[in-house]
Structure 1
């Protein structure tokens, strides 16, 4: 998903908690909103904005 295999292994083997891992630069780089949309997942930011504007 955009990371070298070694970097992905190191990142997956972290002992940090889920919350801290979710806010890391590595995850932000490898799982962008565009990639998540390509996987068929909803963009929650866009959904929330459309609800608030209606």
Structure 2
């Protein structure tokens, strides 16, 4: 098993969802992967706008 250093649990979950497609030899359906992910309360991106 490959170890990873993802900070958020949902990043790790996304990798696992994508890996399940790869293991099955299927093209990743990002729409389906989005629906398979559990929702979290934090923002998915950081704001880079200057004050």
Same fold (TM > 0.5): no
Q: Which has the higher helix share?
A: 1
Task: Report TM bin, short chain.
Answer: 0.3 to 0.5
Q: TM-score scaled to structure 2, two decimals? A: 0.34
